[in-house]
Chains A and B, each alone.
Chain A
Amino acid sequence: MSSTAARLSHLQRLEAESIHIIREVVAEFRKPVMLYSIGKDSSVMLHLARKAFAPGPLPFPLMHIDTTWKFHEMIAFRDATARDLGLELLVHTNPDGLRDGVNPITHGSSVHTDVMKTQALKQALTKHGFDAAFGGARRDEEASRAKERVFSFRTATHQWDPRNQRPELWSIYNGRITTGESIRAFPLSNWTELDVWQYILQEDIPVVPLYFAKPRPVIRFNGMWVMVDDDRLPIPEGTQPEMKRVRFRTLGCYPLTGAVESSATTVAEVVAEMLNSRTSERAGRAIDHDQAGSMELKKRDGYF
């Protein structure tokens, strides 16, 4: 019964590794949750989780941290996905931030992200008593993530202690925690942006239409082309939104997400465009540039 099979392709190996990680978390933790951010990585992670437990249903709920500033198309996509696939979806918004009117425009990306994402996430994890949370982060996204573990340990107050992370050997993950501690698990750790798109293409996974180019109303805001998604975006006197043929490489809060000019209207065209792209994915995100080493600091504080 020795194997004469050809080597698996890179997507087959990445898929198998991710499914292995997702199942291991479910086997070792009491109450996992999948953080669902509606973007392409979340779409892939959700697809992998459905594969991991077929023919059964997902043995955990999805949770979306809603800052109230996501693109409207994202929210519509989120609700349709949960409905069509029969998934349990939890949505949490930081009530304190909502009360104080925290927003990305007057408070800036740093405060907004901290209050409406990081603090909101910690509130929601504590409220539900989740001891493991899946996230769609990839190591190739940003330098500080290059050394992140697949199982990332958090203290009872959701702090990430960089001195206290465990070596990970082979595919054996140590999931032992004491009461109150939790982990963030990253099944897509070894995927790159290109892998994600190739997999979406191969598996025909639905994604938010914002990833595909079409004429959209945009203005220059914080040095980026930002889409006018509703009337909360301040438009300077004397300027008009321009209609440009754009799409988004990443999705987040719309005033913080830069659009790129593109003509790619299908997944295949997106992949072709990316194969020849000369800029990295996060160049279009305001959040990573607002202070030096910003991702590192956010992570310690509990951001993904």
Chain B
Amino acid sequence: MADDGRLFDAAATEAVLSGRRGQRDLLRFLTCGSVDDGKSTLIGRILYDSNLIFEDQLKTLERDSKARGNAGGALDLSLLVDGLQAEREQGITIDVAWRYFTTDRRKFIVADTPGHEQYTRNMATGASNAELAVLLVDARQGVLVQTRRHATIARLMGLRHVVLAINKMDLVAYDRDVFDAIRADFGAFAAAIGLPEPVCIPVSALMGDNVVNPSAATPWYDGPALLPYLETVEVAPESPDAAFRFPVQWVNRPNLDFRGYCGTVASGTVRPGDRVVIEPSGRETTVARIVDFNGDRAQAAAGESVTLTLADAVDVARGDLIVPAGDRPQVADQMAAHLIWMAEEPLLPERGYLMKIGHTTVPVQVTEIKHRLDVNTQNKLAAKRLELNEVAFCNLSLGRPVPFDPYEDNRATGGFILIDRTTNHTVGCGMIAFGLRRAGNIHWQALEVDKAARAHQKHQKPGVLWFTGLSGAGKSTVANLVEKRLMALGHHSYLLDGDNVRHGLNRDLGFTPEDRVENIRRVAEVSRLFVDAGLIVLVSFISPYRAERRLAREKVADGEFLEVFVDAPLAVCEDRDPKGLYRKARAGEIKNFTGIDSAYEPPEAPELHLRTDQASPDDLAEEVIQALRARGLLRG
């Protein structure tokens, strides 16, 4: 700041306007710590002492400090950045609040992540785009469980610069021993979890010590104050050693003469003439041009959004990865990754989700939770499901192979989000550790006798008739009648019934949500094998969740799956109660009973909708047969 009270002196203004023309560096950092640690006061102090508060904001601050400040009527700097409390009370989801400020050395983007309960999710979100984390501790408290949690998440998200701001030094009389003890304690922990060596700074956000200006109260400290450190810390480019990676975002074909591949360079550099490979197809070609608004360029580097053209007319689509011919990524459909779960609905292994990695979206299942990580204690725990804010190391199985790098090597090609297929919400994020098997090494056995041959022998087209509905809706009754008619017509079928399968294949499973998902997964796999054998498979299962029915649908080819919604009002089913189960459920003798204390999600677009309270089972069975005939599954 200039002496005359202006924010930028003549030289700084000149630098912005002249030769350097805005060539200022940008640092994105994250602040971690709860309100009690003085995080808001610290950010407020940075803004205030750097003279970055506008007059109208200062007036508001003076008024608010008197009305609701915690500084006895003096300026309460935390109010500059708070304002989130009221929104929290209204139940508004705030994962990150973003703040911006510029000094004459750097522009800063600050990710401020509020919330106690949602902390892991919020901090992960903020950290994903940060280059540096400022962790706050209260000098009176030292390293607490939450400090270790922040450090663990910073490690998980791959942050390479960490500052430990030891705050409230004024309350420990600026005691050097206190500072040294906390620094040693945290340093040991950071080393143990593999976090980069932290820079420790003794501060008092309230009094302004070592925040913007060096403090006379800490003569024993010879390091920089916080803001000068943030202004000068050398931040290496993201993934400096990573090879060139270019996720294809959009194919630009404005006319017949131009076909360009748009995207942001994820890592490395590229020049015209470089030999490259298109993953996952593995086709090799040469970069012809790098094009932008102003014409051709000689090079493009990490972080730049450009358009490439290729020398050969190879097939390239959105989601592909362009890489150097000599430095290719892994390509796999099975991998191990750290997951952070971000949704209220728990993650269930075997349930299908979508993974978005780069510009590819692919079906994914968690096949195994290897362990859950307690972020407070670093203990590895067994888990069958993941709740909101839980972190786990998992094996994943993808719908098709995708190219990737381990997250440690490359944040841009090793991180992904998980999407719920029903709500479309982002429910988790992941960092790939390693590929489990190179998909390229596993080939499907090319069998000479295939599905078509087996079906042909039986004079039918195979398929799955998936009967879903409440207990007592009449699924088995109708399915039995349909199978009898198929037999009479000379067709080959097999009926999988929920109760019967639970006596054998699935007798190890109960009725928790996880077990219900696994129950359906196994039945879906068996159905797929039977379809492969050329059979018409009838499945009679309550199968209450849409996600699992969709999973079953995706196991077989298009047109082979018919969802049959066997529908009767709950009251009718309960009145029928053929097995006396509703009575027991109402009496509390059976838990997790669908329709009573466990949800049933009705199909949104079933191929057939049978109302068993409005038509006889025989008529409904005939309706099914007609539908099969109309779809060409039956002869004649």
B98 pairs with A190, CB closer than 8 A? yes
A198 pairs with B342, CB closer than 8 A? no
Which interface residue of A166, A198, A283 has the most chain B CB atoms within 10 A?
Answer: A166
A110 → chain B, closest Cβ, in Å? 20
Please tell me if B244 contacts chain A, counting CB pairs below 8 Å: yes
B6 pairs with A167, CB closer than 8 A? no
Contacts of B252 in A (CB 8 A): 53, 56
A16 pairs with B250, CB closer than 8 A? no
Kindly report which residue of chain A lies nearest to residue B86, judged by CB atoms: A293
B11 → chain A, closest Cβ, in Å? 12
Kindly report which residue of chain B lies nearest to residue A176, judged by CB atoms: B424
B153 → chain A, closest Cβ, in Å? 13
- Which of these binds chain B: A21-29, A96-104, A207-215, A225-233? A21-29
Contacts of A177 in B (CB 8 A): 424
Interface residues of A in 207-262 (CB under 8 A from B): none
Contacts of B424 in A (CB 8 A): 174, 176-178
B17 pairs with A271, CB closer than 8 A? yes
A5 pairs with B302, CB closer than 8 A? yes
Kindly report which residue of chain B lies nearest to residue A10, judged by CB atoms: B26
Kindly report which residue of chain A lies nearest to residue B342, judged by CB atoms: A167
Interchain CA distance A120-B419 in the complex, whole Å: 33
Contacts of B469 in A (CB 8 A): none
B53 → chain A, closest Cβ, in Å? 9
- Report A50-77 CB contacts with B as 1/0, cut-off 8 Å: 1111111100000000000000000000
Name A147's contact: one of B54, B94, B267, B358 (CB within 8 Å): B94
B21 → chain A, closest Cβ, in Å? 5
Contacts of B254 in A (CB 8 A): 53, 55-57
Name B97's contact: one of A57, A146, A296 (CB within 8 Å): A146
- Report B269-283 CB contacts with A as 1/0, cut-off 8 Å: 110001000000000
Name B21's contact: one of A2, A190, A198 (CB within 8 Å): A198
A134 → chain B, closest Cβ, in Å? 15
A170 pairs with B412, CB closer than 8 A? yes
- Report A124-139 CB contacts with B as 1/0, cut-off 8 Å: 0000000000000001
B415 pairs with A277, CB closer than 8 A? no
A278 pairs with B55, CB closer than 8 A? yes
Please tell me if A272 contacts chain B, counting CB pairs below 8 Å: yes
B264 pairs with A162, CB closer than 8 A? no
Q: A165-B93, A167-B426 are in contact. Are A139 and B17 (CB under 8 A)?
A: no
A139 → chain B, closest Cβ, in Å? 5
Interface residues of B in 15-52 (CB under 8 A from A): 16-17, 21-26
B411 pairs with A170, CB closer than 8 A? yes
B107 pairs with A195, CB closer than 8 A? yes
Interchain CA distance A171-B109 in the complex, whole Å: 15
Interface residues of B in 297-327 (CB under 8 A from A): 299, 301-305, 307, 318, 324, 327
Contacts of B262 in A (CB 8 A): 23, 52-53
- Report B357-386 CB contacts with A as 1/0, cut-off 8 Å: 111000000000000000000000000000
Please tell me if A291 contacts chain B, counting CB pairs below 8 Å: no
B269 pairs with A1, CB closer than 8 A? yes
Please tell me if B612 contacts chain A, counting CB pairs below 8 Å: no
B293 pairs with A54, CB closer than 8 A? yes
A20 pairs with B305, CB closer than 8 A? yes
B301 pairs with A276, CB closer than 8 A? no
- A residues contacting the other copy or chain, number (CB 8 A): 70
A147 → chain B, closest Cβ, in Å? 5
A36 → chain B, closest Cβ, in Å? 19
A58 → chain B, closest Cβ, in Å? 10
Q: A169-B415, A172-B417 are in contact. Are A13 and B26 (CB under 8 A)?
A: yes
Interchain CA distance A9-B252 in the complex, whole Å: 27
Interface residues of A in 1-22 (CB under 8 A from B): 1-5, 7-17, 19-20
Q: A3-B267, A275-B16 are in contact. Are A9 and B25 (CB under 8 A)?
A: yes
Name B125's contact: one of A5, A19, A168 (CB within 8 Å): A168
Please tell me if A140 contacts chain B, counting CB pairs below 8 Å: yes
Please tell me if A294 contacts chain B, counting CB pairs below 8 Å: no
A163 pairs with B17, CB closer than 8 A? no
- Report B225-264 CB contacts with A as 1/0, cut-off 8 Å: 0000000000101001111100001101111001010111
Please tell me if A268 contacts chain B, counting CB pairs below 8 Å: yes
Interface residues of B in 163-217 (CB under 8 A from A): none
A272 pairs with B17, CB closer than 8 A? yes
Contacts of A147 in B (CB 8 A): 84, 87, 94-98
Contacts of B8 in A (CB 8 A): 275-276
A192 pairs with B24, CB closer than 8 A? no
Please tell me if B589 contacts chain A, counting CB pairs below 8 Å: no
Contacts of A90 in B (CB 8 A): none
A167 pairs with B249, CB closer than 8 A? no
Please tell me if A280 contacts chain B, counting CB pairs below 8 Å: yes
Kindly report which residue of chain B lies nearest to residue A192, judged by CB atoms: B100
Please tell me if B550 contacts chain A, counting CB pairs below 8 Å: no
Contacts of B244 in A (CB 8 A): 1
Interface residues of A in 153-201 (CB under 8 A from B): 162-172, 174, 176-178, 189-190, 192, 194-195, 198-199, 201
B56 pairs with A283, CB closer than 8 A? yes
- Report B78-96 CB contacts with A as 1/0, cut-off 8 Å: 0000011001001111111
Contacts of B301 in A (CB 8 A): 3, 5, 8
Kindly report which residue of chain B lies nearest to residue A177, judged by CB atoms: B424
Please tell me if B506 contacts chain A, counting CB pairs below 8 Å: no
Q: A1-B268, A271-B17 are in contact. Are A276 and B303 (CB under 8 A)?
A: no
Contacts of A19 in B (CB 8 A): 264, 305
A27 pairs with B318, CB closer than 8 A? yes
Contacts of A296 in B (CB 8 A): 87
Q: A12-B303, A176-B419 are in contact. Are A201 and B22 (CB under 8 A)?
A: yes
Please tell me if B286 contacts chain A, counting CB pairs below 8 Å: no
Name A280's contact: one of B56, B90, B107 (CB within 8 Å): B56
Kindly report which residue of chain B lies nearest to residue A275, judged by CB atoms: B8
Kindly report which residue of chain B lies nearest to residue A195, judged by CB atoms: B107
Q: A26-B250, A143-B83 are in contact. Are A198 and B16 (CB under 8 A)?
A: yes
B205 → chain A, closest Cβ, in Å? 20
A2 pairs with B241, CB closer than 8 A? yes
- Report B108-148 CB contacts with A as 1/0, cut-off 8 Å: 01000000000001101100110000000000000000000
Please tell me if B591 contacts chain A, counting CB pairs below 8 Å: no
Contacts of B91 in A (CB 8 A): 162-163
B131 → chain A, closest Cβ, in Å? 10
Name A15's contact: one of B241, B305, B417 (CB within 8 Å): B305
Interchain CA distance A157-B242 in the complex, whole Å: 45
B218 → chain A, closest Cβ, in Å? 32
Name A1's contact: one of B100, B109, B324 (CB within 8 Å): B324
Contacts of A16 in B (CB 8 A): 264, 303-305
Q: A27-B318, A176-B424 are in contact. Are A1 and B264 (CB under 8 A)?
A: no
Contacts of B269 in A (CB 8 A): 1, 3-5
B156 → chain A, closest Cβ, in Å? 12
Please tell me if B416 contacts chain A, counting CB pairs below 8 Å: yes
Which A residues are within 8 Å of any B CB, using their own CB?
A: 1-5, 7-17, 19-20, 23-24, 26-27, 50-57, 139-140, 143, 146-147, 162-172, 174, 176-178, 189-190, 192, 194-195, 198-199, 201-202, 268, 271-272, 275-280, 283, 296
A–B pairs, 21, beta carbons within 8 Å: A1-B268, A9-B22, A11-B23, A23-B249, A23-B250, A26-B250, A50-B293, A56-B255, A56-B258, A57-B254, A147-B95, A162-B90, A169-B415, A171-B129, A172-B356, A176-B424, A190-B100, A195-B22, A276-B8, A277-B7, A283-B56
The 5 closest A-B pairs by CB, nearest first: A56-B254, A10-B26, A198-B22, A19-B305, A5-B301
- Identify 9 new A-B residue pairs, CB closer than 8 A, beyond the known A4-B269, A279-B56: A8-B303, A51-B292, A139-B98, A170-B415, A171-B412, A174-B425, A199-B22, A201-B22, A276-B13
